[in-house]
Amino acid sequence: MKFLFSFAFVLIPLVSVTTAQISTDGLTEKLARQFAASNFPGFCVSVVDRNRPTYQQGFGYADVQNKTPYTVNTIQPVGSVSKTLIGIALMKAVELGLFSLDSDINEILNFKVSNPYFPNQPLTVRQLATHTAGIIDREKVYERTYVFGQSNANVSLNAFLQSYLVKNGKFYSRRNFDRRQPGTAFNYSNIGATLAAYLIEVKAGMTFAKFTEKYVLQPLEMRESSWFDNPENVRRHALLYKPQSMPYPVYSSITYPDGSLRSSCADLSKYLIEIIKGYRGDSDRILKASSFREMFRPQFSPENKIAEVSDKEPNQGIFFVFRRDGAIGHTGSDYGVSAFLFFDPQTNIGKIFLTNIDVQENPQLATQFAQIWKTLDNLKSKGEVK
Rounded to an integer, the average pLDDT of 65-78 is: 98
pLDDT score of 13: 54
- pLDDT over threshold 60, residue 193: yes
Secondary structure (3-state) at 43: strand
Number of structural domains found in the chain: 1
CATH number, domain with residue 82: 3.40.710.10
- pLDDT over threshold 80, residue 225: yes
Asked if residue 27 belongs to a domain, the reply is yes
Asked if residue 98 belongs to a domain, the reply is yes
- State the Cα torsion 218-219-225-227 to the nearest 10°: -60
What 92-96 contacts at long range (C-beta under 8 Å, 24+ apart), as own/partner pairs, is: 92/211, 92/215, 92/216, 92/286, 92/287, 92/291, 93/199, 93/200, 93/203, 93/204, 94/291, 95/287, 95/288, 95/291, 96/204
Cα–Cα distances in angstroms (integers) from residue 206 to residues 18, 64, 197, 200, in the given order? 42, 39, 11, 8
pTM of full prediction above 0.75:
yes
- In terms of Cα–Cα distance, which of 115, 112, 110 is closest to 127? 115
Asked if residue 3 belongs to a domain, the reply is no
| Contact status, residue 16 vs residue 346, Cβ threshold 8 Å | no
Residue 5: CA count within 13 A, CB half-sphere: 32
Asked if residue 2 belongs to a domain, the reply is no
What is the rounded distance in angstroms from the CA atom of residue 253 to the CA atom of residue 146?
4
Read off the pLDDT of residues 308-335 as tens digits, 9 standing for 90 and up: 999 999 999 999 999 999 999 999 999 9
| pLDDT-derived band at 155, boundaries 50, 70, 90 | confident
- Cα 303 to chain centroid distance, Å, stands at 28
Asked if residue 44 belongs to a domain, the reply is yes
- In terms of Cα–Cα distance, which of 78, 72, 46 is closest to 58? 72
Asked if residue 350 belongs to a domain, the reply is yes
Asked if residue 200 belongs to a domain, the reply is yes
Asked if residue 179 belongs to a domain, the reply is yes
Residue 376 sits in which domain range?
8-384
| Contact status, residue 59 vs residue 242, Cβ threshold 8 Å | no
